[in-house]
Structure 1
Amino acid sequence: GTLNPGLLILVISIAAILGDSIGYELGRHLGRGWLLTHLGHFGMRREHLDRVDGFLARHGGKAVFASHFQHLLRALMPFVAGDRRMPYLKFLLSNAMGCIVWSNVFVLLGYLAGAGWRVVAKWVGVASEIVGGALLLVIALVWLWHWWERHEDDAKRRWQAVAKHPRLIALRRRFAPQLEFLLNRLSPHGYMGLHLTIGVLLIIGASWLFGGIAEDVVTGDPLTVFDKDVAEWFHERRTPGITTAMQLISDLASLTWVTGVATLTALVLWWKRCWYRLLALGFVLPGGMILGFVLKVIFHRHRPSFEDSFLIFYGYSFPSGHTMAATVLYGLLAVFAVIAFEAWRWRLGAVLGAIVMILLVGFSRLYLGAHYVSDVVGATAAGLAWMALSLTAVDTLRRNRGRSD
């Protein structure tokens, strides 16, 4: 109990990411021959290296992520990835996700073990009731990812077969001018193409959702009654063990954590000379945090209050600052991953991972009694709108100047 768990997770995650990046560079410059010569000094044999090499060749980024949970893979994977010339950004994203999950799991297990078996038993009992729905959602998202990974080629073939149907071809000829206009809006090329269309649609949709929630909050519509019922439900089921776990999850969107991840990401983008992505990072994260603060002051909604609350939160409630920070941080990292990865299964995995992180942070704020449901949903909508606006502006600037980054 002498160390802050959130700060401990942050330090361990950053140290692990930096250490593995050094291992990657060593593998890139020294190569497999050097490692074969010195394997004996590390208590390893050639078959160990062959196992790691084969695992990476079969699974790519998934192998880098999974390596953190097996001691042999964890020791050799960064060096082998560098030796095989895996793109650094792909390695960094997979490795960073693994480091973050690994540090959270083991710090949390350490806390629970130190808290005593009674606390652990109580935590497990109540968690089965509260977290069950969240686990089902995560399982569904993982299943969707694996389904797409197995059926990606088949789905593309089926779509191509449908597109060649005679009736569909006749409709395409009949409405050729209208379809040409839509295709230009949906084309990934051009100044007014897909990037602008998606950006505008996201801005409109997310802003509309936020406006509707904000109106209900101001006018005291039935949504606020639902807010209070949900807040009371969580309050009645709050326990010290789960509360600490939720605080750890909530810290994944704290100012300290967001600043650390943003700084590390900025250094990588600067090193790789990705100037427009660096500009997007500078707009999305600080701007999103400032926007959240301004909205809190505008609406000045009080936080949930309970007679026997053992957690006290200061400041205003709407929208949730932590949820908004999670939305812009993990949403932006998912966008960068989509740009970096060519395989759709990894793009989908990055997006699903961002969704899970945002949901976890939002859930933690509800459980802790820091916010109402409308605070969390409104923050997600506001964060999406701001991120879409910033990314659309930066990408439009990039395309207007004809740059590839």
Structure 2
Amino acid sequence: MYSLHDQPLVSFIKWVGILGTTIGIVTVLFVSMLLFIIFQKNVKAATVLFLSVLIGNVGNKLLKALIERERPTFPEHIEDGFSFPSGHVMVGLLLFGMIAYYLIRASQTIKVKQTILISTSLLLILIGFSRLLEGEYFLTDIIGGYIAGGLVLIGMISIDQVLHTKIERRKGKNDVAL
């Protein structure tokens, strides 16, 4: 994979991979939180989104510390620390997965929901592929990032659904009381 490092298409894929870096994730996180608050008046979504990324980041660091897998050795190696699971993939999956979840839930048509799902999936695949091209991770690190991120994503969506149900029940009780 690393031999493809300097190919023209790889430049695009590496650019997309920036969305999985700390700067990319923090930027997308805070812009998304602001958009949820401003346009949807949904502070809960912004909070759950923030907590998802925070839990994913802390969980990733704990897994790396427990497993202690060394990174691949490539000439232009820029990342420090252990490699398993890929934090770019794990936290990126949580961030973009939660954003997609909220957008799909707010969407009215199947076509829009499918477009969001396909676009998000493609983005996440490119983020993982970019990390392989950079030579920072082994394929199993990327797969581990998808699995760990996916499990946390399922948990966060479940928590969000429980919160959503409780909020709706309270609204229903308040409407009956009026």
Which category of TM-score, normalised to the shorter sequence, fits these structures?
0.7 to 0.9
Q: How many angstroms apart in 2 are the aligned matches of 1:292 and 1:310? A: 23
| SS of structure 1 residue aligned to 2:102 | helix
Q: How many angstroms apart in 1 are the aligned matches of 2:12 and 2:115? A: 25
Amino acid of the structure 1 residue aligned with 2:81: G
- Contact (CA 8 Å) 2:64, 2:82: kept in 1 or not? yes
- Contact (CA 8 Å) 1:284, 1:328: kept in 2 or not? yes
1:399 — aligned with what?
Answer: 165
1:380 and 2:154 aligned:
no
* Residue 344 (structure 1) aligned to one of 110, 126, 142: 110
Matches within 5 A, 1:289-368: 289-306=57-74, 309-368=75-134
Matches within 5 A, 1:11-90: none
What is the deviation of 1:301?
A: 0.4
Task: Note the alpha carbon deviations across 1:294-333, whole angstroms, 9 max, x for none.
Answer: 1111111001114xx2333311100001111221121111
Structure 1: gaps (5+ residues): 1-233
Q: How many angstroms apart in 2 are the aligned matches of 1:283 and 1:311? A: 30
Q: How many angstroms apart in 1 are the aligned matches of 2:170 and 2:67? A: 41
Describe the shift of the 1:243–1:398 C-alpha distance in structure 2 as closer, same or farther (beyond 3 A): closer
1:259 — aligned with what?
Answer: 26
Task: Note the alpha carbon deviations across 1:326-384, whole angstroms, 9 max, x for none.
Answer: 21121111111111111001101101111000000000111111111111111011111
Which one scores higher on RCO, CA 8 angstroms, separation ≥ 6? 2
Q: How many angstroms apart in 2 are the aligned matches of 1:374 and 1:242? A: 23
- Contact (CA 8 Å) 2:2, 2:132: kept in 1 or not? no
Structure 2: gaps (5+ residues): 172-178
Q: How many angstroms apart in 2 are the aligned matches of 1:354 and 1:295? A: 25
Aligned residues: 169
What is the deviation of 1:244?
A: 4.3
Identity %: 22
2:136 — aligned with what?
Answer: 370
Q: How many angstroms apart in 2 are the aligned matches of 1:336 and 1:399? A: 15
1:239 and 2:32 aligned:
no
- Contact (CA 8 Å) 1:318, 1:379: kept in 2 or not? yes
Describe the shift of the 1:243–1:352 C-alpha distance in structure 2 as closer, same or farther (beyond 3 A): closer
Task: Note the alpha carbon deviations across 1:277-300, whole angstroms, 9 max, x for none.
Answer: 123212211211221111111111
What is the deviation of 1:403?
A: 5.3
Superposition RMSD on alpha carbons, in Å? 1.9
What is the deviation of 1:240?
A: 6.6
Q: How many angstroms apart in 2 are the aligned matches of 1:371 and 1:343? A: 38
Matches within 5 A, 1:175-214: none
Task: Note the alpha carbon deviations across 1:217-257, whole angstroms, 9 max, x for none.
Answer: xxxxxxxxxxxxxxxxx133432756644432221111111
**Greater CA radius of gyration, 1 or 2?**
1
Q: How many angstroms apart in 1 are the aligned matches of 2:134 and 2:105? A: 35
| SS of structure 2 residue aligned to 1:303 | coil
- Contact (CA 8 Å) 2:89, 2:142: kept in 1 or not? yes
Q: Runs of 4 or more off by more than 3 Å in structure 1?
A: 240-247
What is the deviation of 1:266?
A: 1.2
Give the TM-score of the pair, scaled to structure 1.
0.39
